[in-house]
Amino acid sequence: MIGRPAAAAIGLFLISFATPALAQDPLTEIRARIADKGQATVLVRMAVAEPAAAAEPAREGPAVQSANPMTPRDRLNRVREGIASRRSGLENSMAAHGITMQRTYENLPFFVTTVDEAGLEVLLRDPGITAVTLNRARRPNRDVVRKVIVSDNELATLNASANGATAEDAAAERAARSHATSSSTSTPSGAATPLLDTSVGYINAEQVWAQGVIGTGQAIAILDDGIDANHDMFAGKIVAEACFSDTFDAADESLCANGNVSQIGTGSASLCPSGTTVCDHGSHVAGIAAGNDQIGSTTRRGVAYGADLIPIQVFTRVNDPDSCDDEPSCELSYDSATVAALNHVINLTSSFSIAATNMSLGSELTNTACDNNVHKTAIDTLRDLGVLTTIAAGNAEAVGSVENPGCISTAITVSSSIITVPDSTVNHAPMVDVLAPGVFIVSAVPNNSYATFSGTSMATPHVAGAIALLKSANPNATADEIEIALESTGVPTTLAAWTWSTPLIDVEAALAFMGGSGNPTGRVIAGAFASNRTKAQSNIRFYNPGSNSGTVTVDVVDDLTGETAGTYTRSVTAGASIQVSMENIEDGASPAITPAGGDTQSYTLHVTATFSGYLQHVLWNPAGGSLTNLSGCGNGLANTVRDIGNVHTSIITGYPSYLLVHNSGTSEANPTFVVTDARDGSSLGNFNFTSGVAPNTSSMVLVSDLVEFFGGTPESDQFHLNLELQSSFTGFAQHIVDNEVGGVLTNMTAKCDL
């Protein structure tokens, strides 16, 4: 789903239509085309048995293990055999009715043909065929490309507008998140710097580079409108090229360099005719994902600048005003061509380590998964082989919907942010997996030039590059493991119009979650004290604010030996939070852990979870009678200030809880908290301050007696409550515990993302 124009900068944006169409019944759509044109080109799915296919990938949990011992490559070979056998039988029966297979796919159970009404009925009656879908042509809509550099002040103002903050606040946030490196170009304050090397800083890619992780050994396939292979950003990076440019009509013109409908090899995706915008978008996307320009006075690097590139041209020039909204010609991408490109990427996995495939095209909006889409089989096959497919969510300003094929559940659907704030002018929905920077991104365009584009198409290759970074550090990681790392460590981000949050990727946190270049993996908690420490006792709190129950897994590494001593697993009910002592973890680990003698034993904990929640390390000092929050999290400290878990109830005498809230809005407001029982997530009710909080001021109230506030009596095991600050309040909250015995106040708010 390729971009949309942004204020102050106009780029190249590929979308399907100015106003996306509503999805239609496939057969109705085909018959309408036949009625209009006399025939329709369709993708036909053959009935092919898939021997013990891999289990459906887990969306919010660890990889689902298939009981079948076959490797993904073994399964693919079996599927190929079934496809070849079925196609051989169908070719003869179809030929008897004058139906020819115009394109076939050795890895996928489809073929392409053009039929009239009688031919369609033949396809529908054949028991060897399970589905017939119109071969849709997805239209690119290009605006004039302007090479615009936007000032820091303009960028800060735009971020402020989206965030409801002042320009000064936005500029400060931007400065705080921008990480300078020795390879970055130094610019004076106020100079124009919305460069690609700035946007990679927003996702902490530079911090990963500093660890030597730059994408080496991985490749990214870019399915787009071609690439200027001579651009400095791509010097020595293109390891393979291909073109699939179908011509099913006399008005169609191939964009393959050889003029045919397919071409594989050097130069096949590099036809960039002068005077056209062909290759603009593909070059821009490729530069974001893995470009590396170190020639001249400026260094511009893509997210995985050490990775290789595989550009694949998937567009066709159509010279037909009826198909081009009365324009004499336009570029369209047929589904048959993108399926062919994905089929080719599957073939290339035997020669290259491909981390991700990037797609930026779309059509009608949908608010539900579209797993009947013809691309899903290829996406699932690639996923089984360890390759994730990133797809742009689209740019129609839709809230709750994305464009097809971004609605495929097993793809990584990406929407864009303005630095760290969601871009409200593009599509967002609960089915969007992650956010990445997508506004005012400078990257390559033909003739060794650069341009500023905006849109979800610019966000998506940031994610493809992030996947390549993680795969280069963990070559044996599964697609599920990489997706979970990106989604569970991203910063939860939302807008007022949303009823959900979407994680903004943080590559450094994801790498730490995966254990860097080896095992164990997960969120790192350093310095957890063993149970035999007499002066301090570590307790680990887990909070699952989601709607589904899940589990946490803790790998306990002995700090004295550096070895994993055991693994502890615990379920957490939806909406609930639990506290587990290190003694509980030692006893419940597999194998059970016996701490070493003496009073110096400590552990490093590596925590993973099947839910997006929070973790805290709380230290109890029995001698001083005080609680301390030690949450450090290996740089995964949560930025959210709205979910507050494990607020102490009045049952815990001597440690009353307080809420401190700050109103950063422009008018007086009374914050509302939804209060739930930490044991099971059940709702107790809503809690408000007795009076409003003035703008730019703070207020603190005692909350230890909330159970009584709602008319209940605290039960013997009701030690904690969970509170969620509602989005109607602009500001933040803190949980403060008064250690009455020790005479100190402790901020218990800090927590780690899971």
The pLDDT of residue 507 is 96
Q: Write down the pLDDT at residue 660.
A: 84
For residue 696, being part of any structural domain is answered with yes
In one-letter notation, the amino acid at residue 458 is M
Residue 379 in contact with residue 410, Cβ under 8 Å?
yes
Cα gap 660→746, rounded to integer Å: 12
Q: Which residues of 637-658 are buried (b: 16+ CB within 10 A; e: fewer)?
A: ebebebbbbbbbbbeeeebbbb
Contact 515, 562 (CB under 8 A): no
Same-domain pairing of 354 and 327: yes
pLDDT at 323: 77
Pick from 138, 167, 196: which residue ends a domain? 138
Structural domain includes residue 9: no
Residue 323 tokens, joined: 């198909």
687, 706 in Cβ contact below 8 A?
A: yes
Enumerate residues 6+ apart whose C-beta is below 8 A from 405.
359, 361, 362, 370, 373, 375, 376, 391, 411
Establish if 511 belongs to a structural domain. Answer: no
C-alpha–C-alpha distance, residues 643 and 647, integer Å: 11
Q: Name, in order, each residue with C-beta under 8 angstroms of 70's C-beta and a sequence gap of 6 or more.
A: 51, 52, 78
Q: Which two tokens stand for residue 254?
A: 């191939």
Burial class (CB in 10 A: 0-12, 13-18, 19+), 231: buried
Q: Check: CB of residue 124 under 8 Å from CB of residue 30.
A: no
Q: Are residues 485 and 538 in the same domain?
A: no
CA distance 507 to 45: 38
Same domain membership, residue 161 and residue 77 = no
- The Cα 411–Cα 281 span in angstroms is 21
CA atoms within 13 A on the CB side of 112: 20
Residue carrying the six token digits 């779309």: 362
Q: CB under 8 Å to 152, separation ≥6 — which residues?
A: 171, 174, 189, 190, 191, 192, 193
Whose tokens are 């994610």? That residue is 463
**DSSP line for 392-421:** E--SS--BS-EETTTT-TTSEEEEEEETTE
| Residue 623: count of CB within 10 angstroms of its CB | 9
Asked if 169 and 103 sit in the same domain, the reply is no
Q: What phi and psi, each to the nearest 5 degrees, are found at residue 523?
A: -65, 130
CA gap 21, 325 in Å, rounded: 14
φ/ψ region of 410 (left if φ > 0, alpha if ψ in -120 to 50, else beta) reads alpha
Among left, alpha and beta (phi > 0; psi -120 to 50; other), residue 52 is: left
Burial of residue 676, with CB atoms counted within 10 A of its CB: 0-12 exposed, 13-18 middle, 19 or more buried: buried
Same domain, 593 and 625: yes
The mean pLDDT values, 10 residues at a time, for the chain of 754 residues are 31 29 70 93 91 40 37 89 94 93 96 96 95 83 35 47 42 35 24 55 90 90 95 94 93 93 96 89 95 74 94 93 82 93 96 94 87 94 96 92 92 94 93 94 90 92 97 87 93 93 95 72 80 85 84 85 86 88 90 81 83 85 81 65 80 84 84 85 83 82 80 81 81 84 81 78
On the question of a cis peptide bond just before residue 140, with omega within 30 degrees of 0, the verdict is: no
Q: Are residues 326 and 475 in the same domain?
A: yes
Apex CA 339: angle with CA 462 and CA 345, to 5°? 60
Sheet holding 720-725, edge to edge: 643-648, 720-725, 672-677, 683-688
Q: Tell me which amino acid residue 616 is.
A: Q
One-letter identity of residue 18: A
Residue 734 maps to which CATH number?
2.60.290.11
pLDDT single digits (tens) 172-194: 433 433 322 222 222 222 223 33
Are 265 and 303 within one domain? yes
Which among 149, 76, 179 is positioned nearest to 443, based on CA atoms?
149
pLDDT of res. 62: 28
Same domain? For 479 and 377 the reply is: yes
Contacts of 162 (CB under 8 A, 6+ apart): 418, 421, 422, 423, 424
The structure tokens 């969306």 sit at 59
Tokens 């708010």 found at: 749
Does residue 458 lie within any of the structural domains? yes
Is 96 in the same domain as 210?
Answer: no
In a domain, 497, yes or no: no
Cis-peptide into 520, omega within 30 deg: yes
Give how far the C-alpha of residue 190 lies from the chain's centroid of Cα atoms, to the nearest Å: 32
Type of residue found at 726: Q
Could you give phi then psi for residue 385, rounded to 5 degrees?
Answer: -85, 5
The pLDDT value given to residue 126: 94
Whether 517 is in a domain gets the answer no
- Count of Cβ atoms closer than 10 Å to residue 187 Cβ: 14
Distance CA 221, CA 235 (A): 16
Strand partners, 110: 45
Residue 500 lies in a domain: no
Is 453 domain-assigned?
yes
- Are residues 296 and 222 part of one domain? yes
Q: Domain holding 424: CATH number?
A: 3.40.50.200
Residue 284: strand, helix, or coil: helix
CB-neighbour burial class of residue 564 (10 A; exposed 0-12, middle 13-18, buried 19+)? middle
Residues 258 and 289 in one domain: yes
Domain closes at, from 438, 467, 490: 490
Do residue 472 and residue 383 come from a single domain? yes
CA–CA separation, 471 and 485 (whole Å): 11
Q: Which of 138, 171, 196 is the last residue of a domain?
A: 138
Distance CA 255, CA 316 (A): 6
Q: Is the peptide bond before 405 cis (omega within 30 degrees of 0)?
A: yes
Q: Could you give the C-alpha distances from 489 to 386, 516, 541, in angstroms and in order? A: 20, 14, 17
Between 376-384 and 72-95, two packed helices, what is the crossing angle to 10 degrees? 150
The whole domain housing 427 covers: 152-490
- DSSP annotation of 549 reads -
Provide the CB-side half-sphere exposure for 30 (13 A, CA).
24
User: Domain containing 65 — which CATH number?
Assistant: 3.30.70
The per-residue pLDDT for 306 is: 92
Closest CA to 660 of 618, 702, 617, 614: 702
| Number of domains the chain contains | 3
User: Whole-angstrom Cα distance, residue 173 to residue 186?
Assistant: 19
